[in-house]
Every structure is written in structure tokens, then in C-alpha cells.
Chains A and B, each alone.
Chain A
């Protein structure tokens, strides 16, 4: 059974930092691109970042470039999202998703990040 479990969310002040984690199991982790997708309260889905299975390729949406860093640890079948300089507009549920290529077929339940001003 495929499982993706996010953690690390919480309440943080604007300007602060958080590190989100996503632990994967049930599939060949080092064969899949990994993604972060978020949903702000009352809003739609927004793709945030992805990382290639070997960590050699990374992409980000413009609004997080320079503040967010995605990484993977194949030995721990885990993906991380380091979030710095948090803003109110970063408040969202952050989902981890895995896919063949850039198709996100597997999703976690999400972790909530709340930024207080």
C-alpha cells in the first residue's frame, strides 16, 4: 500500500521558518518525482515545488523562489520542504505528492501551516 505522510506543520510567526517532511512507503521512492502542492483556506490548489528522484532537478513556483528549498533523502524515503521568511499568504495545507514523471498519482493527507502576523 502506498503511503505518504506529511509532518512539520504548525503555527509560526511571519518571518519565521519551518521544515516540512514527507515520508513515503509502498513504492520505489527513487523512481518517482516528488512534489509539494498547497491549498490556502478557501482557495484552489497551487503547485509549489518538485524534485527529481535523484535530487538533481528542482523546480519552484515563482512566489516561493529564494524562500523555499525542496530536498530528498532516498535512504530515508523522505522529502523535505524548508520554508523560510514565512508570509501570511503561505498559510495553507501542504500536500506531498509522488508521480511518474510529473504526474502526481499518489498524495498524502497534508499538513497545515498557519502563519500569524
Chain B
């Protein structure tokens, strides 16, 4: 199974400041045949279902604000929130969908400082 490791576990950022979340996979999730990284990012707020933010490591889902940016390739990925807003308080998860079983990172809790 591919193990996904996120860091940090939590972070507190001032409104309008940048938040950076890291995700590392135990093996590459890049496919040479498709030239894509099979990596997604989700936002999860209490009492709500998870919401897809980013897929293929850097493609923003429709309707997701452009302050959310995904980057990275192979085994190392980053989700950046360029200017944190109050509504961004949530737990963020990376997930690989390169091979079954699909696996999530442990989550990163983002709060307002």
C-alpha cells in the first residue's frame, strides 16, 4: 500500500497570510503513460462531507478559489493557500489514487492565528 504522510499536523496562520501543507508518498504516484500525478487534495469541515479541491496534483476543481494551489510531482506535493480566509478553516487531506487501496494522508488542521 502507498503510505501518504502529511506535515505539519496542524498550523495556525493569520488572515491574509500564506498556508503551506506538505504531502509525501511512500512511492511515486506519477504515471509515465499518462504523464500525470495521481494526487488529490480535499478540504473537510466539521459536519460537512469532504470537498475536492485539487486533482492531478495541480488541477483546481471547478468553483474552487484560485488562492488554492497544488504543486509537486513524483512523491512530494504541496497545497498552498495563498491568502488565508476565515472560511478556509478546515482539515486538509491529500489522497493518492494511483493504486488500490486508495490512501489518504493523516490530515492537516488549519486554524486562524
Residues of A within 8 A of B (CB): 35, 37, 44-47, 50, 59-62, 95, 97, 101-105, 107-110
**Are B93 and A47 touching (Cβ within 8 A)?**
no
Q: Mark B81-103, 1 if CB is under 8 A from A, else 0.
A: 00000000001010101001111
Q: Are A47 and B42 in contact (CB under 8 A)?
A: no
Query: Which residues of B sit under 8 angstroms from A101, Cβ to Cβ?
Result: 97
Task: Give the 9 A-B CB pairs with smallest separation, nearest first.
Answer: A59-B100, A107-B49, A102-B97, A47-B102, A44-B107, A61-B101, A45-B104, A103-B55, A105-B52
Asked whether, in the complex, the Cβ of B107 is within 8 Å of the Cβ of A45, the reply is yes
Residues from chain B with a CB closer than 8 A to the CB of A62 are 1, 101
Q: Chain A interface mostly helix, strand, loop or mixed?
A: strand
Instruction: Count how many chain B residues have C-beta atoms less than 8 Å from C-beta atoms of the other chain.
Output: 24
Query: What are 29 residue pairs bridging A and B, where the CB atoms are less than 8 Å apart in the complex?
Result: A44-B93, A44-B104, A44-B106, A44-B107, A45-B42, A45-B44, A45-B95, A45-B107, A46-B104, A47-B95, A47-B101, A47-B102, A47-B103, A47-B104, A59-B100, A62-B101, A95-B50, A101-B97, A103-B52, A103-B97, A104-B52, A104-B95, A105-B55, A105-B61, A107-B49, A107-B51, A107-B52, A109-B48, A109-B49
Closest to B93 in A: A45
A57 nearest in chain B by CB position: B100
CA–CA, A38 to B105, complex, Å? Answer: 14
State in angstroms the CA–CA spacing of A46 and B1 once bound together: 13
Q: A-contacting residues of B (Cβ < 8 Å)?
A: 1, 38, 40, 42, 44, 48-52, 55, 61, 91, 93, 95, 97, 100-107
Chain A residues near B40 (CB-CB < 8 A): 103-104
Chain B residue contacts of A97, Cβ below 8 A? 49-50
The distance in angstroms between the C-alpha atoms of A44 and B5, with both chains bound, is 12
Cα-based distance from A104 to B42 in the complex (angstroms): 9
**Cβ of B91: which chain A residues have Cβ within 8 Å of it?**
44
Question: For residue B1, which residue of chain A has the nearest CB?
Answer: A62
A46 neighbours in B (Cβ, 8 Å): 104
- Contact among B101, B105, B106 with A60 in the assembled complex (CB-CB below 8 Å): B101
